[in-house]
Copies of this chain bind each other. A is one copy, B any other.
Amino acid sequence: MVNIPIVRNILQANENIASENRQFFKENGLLVINLLSSPGAGKTTFLEKTIEMLNGEMRIGVIEGDIQSTLDSERIEKCGAPVVQINTEGGCHLDANMIKAALPDLKVQVIDILFIENVGNLVCPAEFNLGEDMKVMLLSVAEGDDKPLKYPLAFRESKALVINKSDLLPFTNFHTEKAKQYSLDINPKLEIFETSCYTGEGLNRWIQWLKIQALSCS
């Protein structure tokens, strides 16, 4: 019983700082996307492809959230995008205060779209707003089509769902239509993309949609 008010206080404090971050992003004309998924759903490769396909047409910046290591940051840096690393040192999600602390290192003048790659975790990151315009979640087809039923909050909180690694579809028992229906039952407004970063399937549609989001934000 004691835990409930403590957790509420933490969430409220987080919400207040998220509002400050949101204000900062707005003043600097950034579209900010909080990217969620399980470990290994392909967030970093998806970002690499997104940066490559926008090819300077819109400038991407990235905040990389990891428990430890700088593996993902190094990959993003190679793509030529400015990146700031946050190591949570064991923490299972990013919170608004971590983002606030990273803002001075962010080159906002050269960024149109900021991606925040959250810690790989389908549970806790969905509870903590960071000041983003929207959450986008990735689901790998190798994870199974029942994930919306089992981890509904991330699906409910997201504006878009990317069903990724579609090249693996022939080798799994993942039913795309089922996964879509389960997701839409939870969140009828969810925009859904089916992509493969190997074959390139579906990435064009994602890029077009992303550009529209950025334009309607700036």
List the interface of chain A (C-beta within 8 A of B): 3, 6, 10, 38-41, 66-69, 71, 90, 92, 119-124, 127, 140, 142-144, 146-147, 149-153, 165, 167-168, 171-172
Contact = CB atoms under 8 A, between A and B. Distances in A.
B69 A149 contact: yes
Contacts of A123: 67, 90, 92, 119, 121, 124
Contact of A153 (B66, B90, B127): B90
Given A92-B92, A123-B124, A142-B143, 8 more contacts: A38-B40, A39-B150, A41-B143, A69-B149, A69-B150, A90-B123, A121-B124, A167-B171
A122 B150 CA distance: 15
A3 B140 CA distance: 34
Contacts of A165: 142
Contact of A142 (B10, B92, B119, B142): B142
A92 B121 contact: yes
Given A168-B168, A168-B171, A150 B120 contact: yes
A150 B66 contact: yes
Nearest to A9: B2
7 contacts: A6-B6, A38-B39, A39-B147, A40-B142, A41-B143, A68-B152, A167-B171
